[in-house]
A and B are shown apart, each in its own frame.
Chain A
Amino acid sequence: MTDAELLERTWYVPRGVLGWLSVADHRTIGKRYLVTAFAFFLFAGVLAGLMRIQLAVPNNRFLGPDLYNQIFTVHGTMMMFLFAVPVMEAMGIYLVPLMVGARNIAFPRLNTYSYFVFLCGGVMLVATMLLNTAPDVGWFSYVPLAGPDYTPGKRADFWAQLITFTEVAALAVAVELVATIFKLRAPGMTLNRIPLFVWSILVMSFMVIFAMPAVVTGSSFLLMDRLVGTHFYNPAEGGDPLLFQHLFWFFGHPEVYIIFIPALGMVSSIITTFTQRPIFGYTALVLALIATGFIGFGLWVHHMFATGLPQLGLHYFTAASIVIAIPSGVQIFCWIASLWRGRPRFETPLLFVIGFIIIFVLGGLSGVTLASVPFDLQVHDTYYVVAHFHYVLIGGAVFPLIGGVYYWFPKITGRMMDNTVGIVNFVVLFVGFNVTFFPMHQAGLMGMPRRVYTYPADMGWNTVNLISSLGALLLVIGGAMLIYNMVTSYLWGAVAGDNPWNADTLEWGTTSPPPVYNFLYPPVVEGRHALWERTAAAPVVTGGRLDCRECLVTDVMDGEPSNKTEFPGPTIWPFVAAIFTSIMFIGSIFTAWAVPIGTVPIAIALILWFWPHAPGHDIGAPEEESTPVVEARAS
């Protein structure tokens, strides 16, 4: 049996329904995460289209306030919690192990668990929308509006538990990614050789770990106020509505950087590949990412300038909000310098990156205006803010993401996406985006508040709203073109080969799509641009056991091999635990007893999940101990 065959058998992906539910490898789960997140993106996009129809003309009766409020709440909640964060983590799940030369993501069963928890939470929200009982208090669910007195029924509880679902899933993935990046890197991948995309995922994961607990606390307090009569937010009993805002925005502002930072990593990857030169200012870019990660936690109060907090405190948050423009500026300058120095190849991924710079810089600058307390007091909660955050989130995250889809599609599917359709796709989306969202700046300055289901005809807002709605039509066409290109390329696209773009990072050093074991022999990294600097007789790691899921563990700083570990194989128990977790979460919307009773089956599933077993039990008798060694071998 050759090494490849042995690895194929060891890292098998189980088949059948049970196998589908048991699978524990990062590529399969990563792809599922991607497809699911894109499905939620489409759903939330359709909701946005309905809103633009409603707002196209004044006094429109297409949607009533009840439905409109549900739609904008679900649109925001879904885009943030079920699309943006998961899709970025999904890119990390799929790409990071490949980029660092690992065979799998750390804690692969936890990965499977997180996917099913995420899926169940998302399905719950879709179901509430389709049943016309969706949350209708905004994606931010401010109390007391979302409290027991003003939103009777279960709508706000669905929102609160959706948060729990998505945060459990996101936290699990963040932990896996941090462990993978710190401990599973290929030998030789020192900290200063880590690809920028991996750095961005690392910073994002730490931000998830520190930001998400705040919102889970906030939404759990809300659930307890609603379900068991606590008074965390009830001013009559000594609670405080502002507590919720602090908890929410302490998460909510880092959240936008959680979404945006991985996109920056994609931009760096694409620019490196499509200029065929090392990125300009690697160290500055890494430091900028880390600085953004830290400063991102110091600005949350700029969402609360109008709440009447003391002036001195507000000015601190103005200064912090303005400071974060500096690392963003440094990154933009470094990318422009990279493009200046390199040999740009204007293919679809690079076009999306150029579009990103044009849109994102405008959004960043309107963000600077929002950091100013006096100006913010005027434009806060108006369409100016809606324009701003769509510029930074669509321009800053979705454009690089689509660029990333065009870029990594060949690696994931083995087929190229059509470049001509891609270019037209870019033009339609770029024009459509600006036509839709630029006029919203004006609408806001002309006094149009956010979250209104209709507006009077004599306010002067008719033209700008009609233009926005027509632009949304272009975005729909652009989205359809993207799907068309993905589907047709998946079925009939040109075969990609291992490294169609001549890229520098390790994921392009294996086949497209990668084998179940990722790399026949884990590579050894000799420089920052692993594939460009690979010598003819590139060393690889050999000598490890191939008959069990053994992986090399390396040192955090220098990527030196330190020991080895055996990865768990597929099992049904993470799925079972995810189902019981979902039952407990949904049950606790209706009765507090769901928590003590519901944890029992979860505990049982977890015990079976972690049931110890002899090493290599999947394959038969363990062989003799062997030590992995780094040796030169032409790969």
Chain B
Amino acid sequence: MIVRALLLVAAAAAAGCSGNQNVFNPAGPAARDIASLGWQLFIVCGAVYLLTLLALAWALARRRVPSDDTVETTASLTRTVTIATVLSIVILIGITISSVVHGRGLTSPSGPGAITLDAIGHQWWWEFQYRDLTPSDFVTSPNELHIPVGVPIQIKAMSRDVIHSFWVPNLHGKRDLIPGQVTNFWIQADTPGVYRGQCAEFCGHQHANMAFTVVAEPMDKFQQWIRAQRQPAAEPVNAEQARGQEVFLQGPCVMCHTIRGTSAGSRVGPELTHVGSRLTIAAGTLPNTRGHLGGWVLDSQSVKPGNRMPPNALTSDDLQAVLSYLRSLR
């Protein structure tokens, strides 16, 4: 009960300010199911805990009487211990059954209409690929997963390097991304919103800053988003942006990044075709503002020490041009 009370406080506090990465703030059927199982477990275990502590307190505080050493007392204690054991076994069987029943629903989607996408883990960022019948309509969205609400999303997950774990607590439990394997699972959001996910398997230096954003939106807005993402990158519209593109394409940036519609086509780092449209940069580490982007381009190592992007010693004018260009890629 103490546990439960404290958890209620915690859940309430979390829901108030920052419930977008919270086990007990479910926004989809799987997470809701697990949360209700969680409450069940806490209530049952809390009650067992309380009873055990009461028994302990009684055992310690009771007045001692001479009959304590008799055979009858031992026999009645044996009965009590046996009853307690049998009760625990019954409770444990109940927990097992409840757990299996809740688990069954989690492995298959709740209904038809699933869309399929690939989730690929990299040290230390996420890549989401929306496949289509036409290869030219493939959409790659780094660190930002857009999904329509109300339909199951089938995810084929894999890793390019080490083991990562895909986890959006508000939608579902976690699933490991294991190199050499394709893992299939599904998620579903019922409430539109922005949820935060984070890598949950230790994956090296920047495991702490390997987050992503899930944007759950109505189907029409999702369709609108995916149509926009299918477009190649916006052309520069002024001289500064044009200069920025030139700096980008002639500098080391093209060694790792893709901007569709230009000659930059490397797939080592996150694709930047629509980088200006994203909510965060550096895998959920910083809000996508001009200032943060500038700091990241110049010296990403001070933000995420050990990440794979080298520092770029750009002149002030070149930096501003690159920033203007990147932010125009919406």
Q: Which residues from chain A sit less than 8 Å from chain B, CB to CB?
A: 64-66, 69, 137-138, 142, 144-145, 149-150, 235-236, 240-242, 277, 280-281, 284, 306-308, 311, 314-315, 318-319, 322-323, 325-326, 329-330, 332-334, 336-337, 339-344, 354, 357-358, 361-362, 365-366, 368-369, 371-382, 438, 441-442, 444-447, 449-456, 458-460, 463-464
Contact = CB atoms under 8 A, between A and B. Distances in A.
Interface string B34-49: 1001100110010011
A145 B77 contact: no
B208 A452 contact: yes
Contact of A142 (B24, B106, B201): B201
Contact of A374 (B24, B60, B102, B208): B102
25 contacts: A66-B306, A142-B162, A144-B162, A145-B163, A235-B180, A277-B69, A306-B165, A306-B173, A307-B178, A308-B175, A308-B185, A311-B107, A318-B99, A330-B85, A336-B55, A342-B68, A357-B56, A361-B52, A374-B33, A377-B173, A381-B201, A441-B3, A444-B23, A445-B11, A460-B14
B49 A365 contact: yes
- Name B's interface SS: helix
Contact of B62 (A240, A319, A340, A375): A340
A69 B38 CA distance: 31
B202 A138 contact: yes
A145 B162 contact: yes
A379 B205 CA distance: 22
B38 A375 contact: yes
Given A280-B77, A358-B56, A373-B103, A66 B178 contact: no
A141 to B, nearest CB: 10
A144 B53 contact: no
A507 to B, nearest CB: 26
Interface in B68-113: 68-69, 73-74, 77-78, 80-81, 84-85, 88-89, 92, 95-96, 98-100, 102-104, 106-107
Contacts of A306: 165, 173-176, 200-201
A378 B168 CA distance: 9
B17 interface: yes
Chain B contact residues (Cβ within 8 angstroms of A): what range? 35 or more
Contact of A343 (B64, B73, B180): B64
B12 to A, nearest CB: 11
Given A311-B107, A445-B24, A142 B60 contact: no
Contacts of B181: 235, 308
A336 B56 contact: yes
Contacts of A341: 68-69, 73-74, 77
Contact of B100 (A318, A438, A458): A318
A144 B95 contact: no
Given A144-B179, A460-B17, A442 B103 contact: no
A66 B206 CA distance: 9
Contacts of B19: 460
Interface centre among B89, B178, B199 (most CB of A within 10 A): B178
Contacts of B78: 281
A306 B172 CA distance: 12
Nearest to B47: A365
Given A329-B88, A341-B74, A374-B103, A449 B41 contact: no
B174 A330 contact: no
B312 interface: no
Contact of B204 (A145, A344, A372, A376): A145
Nearest to A277: B69
A447 B169 contact: yes
A374 B106 contact: yes
Contacts of B49: 361-362, 365
B173 A372 contact: no
B180 A449 contact: no
Given A341-B68, A341-B73, A372-B41, A145 B203 contact: yes
B34 A375 contact: yes
Nearest to B30: A374
B3 to A, nearest CB: 8
- Name A's interface SS: helix
Interface in B142-196: 161-163, 165, 167, 169, 172-176, 178-181, 183, 185, 196
A447 B22 contact: yes
Nearest to B306: A65
Nearest to A455: B208
A311 B38 CA distance: 19
Contact of B92 (A323, A366, A373, A444): A323
Nearest to A149: B161
Nearest to B98: A372
Contacts of A242: 178
Contact of B95 (A69, A241, A368, A455): A368
Nearest to B73: A341
Contacts of A145: 162-163, 202-204
Ranked nearest first, the 6 interchain pairs of A and B with the lowest CB-CB distance are A377-B173, A235-B180, A447-B21, A452-B208, A340-B59, A372-B99
B162 A449 contact: no
Contact of B48 (A315, A365, A455): A365
A346 to B, nearest CB: 8
Contacts of A357: 52, 56
A375 B80 contact: no
B7 A445 contact: yes
B314 interface: no
B228 interface: no
B23 A378 contact: yes
Nearest to A362: B49
Contact of B41 (A64, A369, A438): A369
Contacts of B21: 446-447, 459
A455 B18 CA distance: 13
B159 to A, nearest CB: 9
Contacts of A381: 165, 174, 200-202
A333 B60 contact: no
B54 to A, nearest CB: 10
A82 B62 CA distance: 42
Given A357-B56, A361-B49, A372-B103, 13 more contacts: A241-B180, A336-B52, A339-B60, A340-B58, A340-B77, A366-B45, A372-B41, A372-B98, A378-B31, A378-B34, A447-B21, A450-B200, A458-B18
Contacts of B55: 336
Nearest to A338: B59
A451 B77 contact: no
Contact of A372 (B85, B95, B161): B95
A352 to B, nearest CB: 14
Contact of A447 (B45, B58, B81, B198): B198
Contacts of B175: 306, 308, 377
B311 interface: no
A449 B200 contact: yes
A445 B23 contact: yes
A333 B103 contact: no
B255 interface: no
Contacts of B95: 322, 368, 371-372
A403 B321 CA distance: 68
Contact of B178 (A138, A241, A340, A464): A241
A269 B204 CA distance: 44
Contacts of A344: 60
Nearest to B172: A377
A452 B95 CA distance: 32
Contacts of A458: 17-18
Given A368-B92, A445-B7, A449-B199, A150 B162 contact: yes
